[in-house]
Amino acid sequence: MTVQRRYTSADLDILPEIEGIRYEIIDGELFVSKQPSWHHQDVCDEVCGALRRWSRETRLGRAVGAPGLVFRDDEDDDVIPDVVWISSARFPGALDAAGHLTRTPELVVEVLSPGSANERRDRQAKLALYSRRGASEYWIVDWRQHQVQVFRRGGPELELPATLGDADSLTSPLLPGFSVRVADLWEPD
């Protein structure tokens, strides 16, 4: 019988700080990943920029890239989403003393990095986490395939109502009036 260790927030404090290495804990499982690539970060910036422009115009919320998301009531879920959007109503009191989000934002965006472990983390572990934690939407952006999977709350769990390609526009009932062409999220081929 194999016993798998469950990691907690306290374990993050004792892990070695290695430049270019990121640690995340999801449901007690430790995920270690390398610093993202140029293409990955460029897409993150495009998504975050579009959300920020819309948020400044509407004053309905705030978008930020790569915040720490630490759940106060759970010591085995600490993640670093690529981009989040949190409403102005949910934001007050959402940061801890270290400046980490402690409340689930309404929208979480992950941009896929190459590798099966990274894809499993984003498509399975993080989808389950954000669904369990009450996110209203979760976007998985695949810059290699030029696709965006849009998961929306359709009851108790996040469901996949749309997979968008370059010819589509990314919109959301959560973000009235927000729209960005999917093709504008990456450099032209």
Looking at residue 23, what is its pLDDT? 83
Q: How far apart are CA 2 and CA 10, in angstroms?
A: 23
Q: For 40, which DSSP code?
A: H
Looking at residue 114, what is its pLDDT? 83
Token digits for 154?
Answer: 């359709």
Residue that wins the pLDDT comparison between 22 and 172:
172
Q: Has residue 2 got a pLDDT over 80?
A: no
Domains of the chain in sequence order: 38-185 (3.90.1570.10)
Helix (H/G/I), strand (E/B), else coil: 129 = helix
Q: Which amino acid is at 62?
A: R
The tokens 């896929």 sit on which residue?
112
pTM over 0.85: yes
Helix (H/G/I), strand (E/B), else coil: 112 = coil
% of residues, the chain, pLDDT over 70? 96
- Mean pLDDT to the nearest integer, 141-166: 96
Q: Has residue 76 got a pLDDT over 80?
A: no
Measure CA 153 to chain center.
15
Supply the Cα-derived Rg of the chain in whole angstroms: 16
